[in-house]
A and B are shown apart, each in its own frame.
Chain A
Amino acid sequence: MARFTGKKAKETPALNMGSMSDIIFMLLFFFMVITTMRESSLYVRIIPPQGTEVTKLEKKSLVSYINVGVPLQDQQKKYGTEPRIQLNDQISEVSDIISFVEQEREQRIEADRPFITTAIKADKAVRMGMVSDIKQELRKAGALKIFYNASKGTRK
């Protein structure tokens, strides 16, 4: 072992940090792309049902979402444990849907208004009574294009 002890430890050459910023930017861009912008955080838990015939939702800018599900654990004190409707960032009642649709319509330009789609994002355990109430309200509001959110599944 005497061969090694006498020698001075080799100095490691300094790493070039010049490209670090590039890598970081790359990561940044990557995460910017894969994360979908969510304007409001969800207060309800949604596990969508699965379907085999699902299609992609086109023109995201023309979609308004209605979320239906049981409030999250930390929200249950406030909103209870029964399925609730979330419009934008607040828990709402079925009767609020008409004004919600109006409001969404106001935000779009005139030419786009007939193409507005309402996506119903409901948990699979939600009862149809609630979904039907929502659909009736949407009919009254004249928002006839709807979309049932579901995840892609395989045939059992």
Chain B
Amino acid sequence: MARKTPGLNTSSMSDISFLLLAFFLMVSNINSDMGIARKLPPPLPENVEPPEVRERNIFVVMVNKDDRLLFNTEYGRIEDLKERAKEFLGNPRNLAHMPEKEIKQIDLLGNIEVSKGVISLRNDRGTSYDMYLQVQNELTAAISEMRNELSTTRFGKQYADLNEQQRKAVEQAVPMAISEAEPTKIGGK
């Protein structure tokens, strides 16, 4: 005679399923949007000339329609862009052709040298969005590395771990100095 199997106790099944549900809720990351945040400059009033910037304070990064790079006057590679940008903005040896520095009074940091350098990004209408984003990415990397360096020497913490006020101070000391020119019209539309 077949032995009857005792009925399984399933009352805890729902508990297990809820446990699983909670687990997946915590583990799965909701398809989040990632990217690079930027601020556009407000539109210039009609008859106002854009402010003059001295030549030593500008680092020109040009991207042409074939996605090739030009740093000031020489060809460059995307791999070198981060180091070049850091060197330019930091100007560690106070070279004459590198940007001037201005002593500024910033809360929490006291008097600190702030570079007057501006990276001027110029692209062609035919530049691919991919390349443009790579350039933006490298410049972001340069600035965030400099911010990290400053915050580790002054606060002993990574930039991301700083509190609101400290972050503001570091942001002022290492500004996001990227200026974008209107694109040229050589290739593409």
Contacts and interface: CB of A to CB of B under 8 A. Distances in A.
A binds B: yes
Interface of A: 8, 10-11, 13, 16, 18-19, 22-23, 25-26, 29-30, 33-36, 48-49, 51-57, 60, 63, 68, 117, 119, 122-132, 135-136, 138-140, 142-152
Contacts, number: 166
Interface of B: 2, 4-5, 7-8, 10, 13-14, 17-18, 20-21, 24-25, 28, 30-43, 63, 123-130, 132-134, 136-137, 140-141, 144, 182-183, 185, 188-189
Identify the interface centre among A55, A123, A126: most chain B CB within 10 Å of its CB. Answer: A55
B128 A124 contact: yes
Given A26-B17, A36-B31, A54 B36 contact: yes
Given A126-B128, A138-B40, A56 B4 contact: no
Nearest to A138: B40
A53 B134 CA distance: 10
Given A49-B134, A127-B125, A129-B189, A139 B30 contact: no
A33 B25 contact: yes
Contacts of A143: 40
Given A13-B4, A13-B5, A147-B36, A18 B41 contact: no
B8 to A, nearest CB: 6
Nearest to A11: B2
Contact of A146 (B39, B125, B126): B39
27 contacts: A11-B2, A18-B10, A23-B13, A23-B17, A26-B17, A29-B21, A30-B21, A33-B24, A36-B31, A49-B133, A55-B36, A119-B33, A123-B129, A124-B128, A124-B129, A126-B129, A128-B126, A128-B128, A129-B125, A130-B189, A136-B182, A144-B41, A146-B39, A147-B33, A148-B35, A150-B35, A151-B34
Contacts of A26: 17-18, 20-21
Nearest to B123: A128
A86 to B, nearest CB: 15
Contacts of A122: 129
Contacts of A30: 21, 24-25, 28
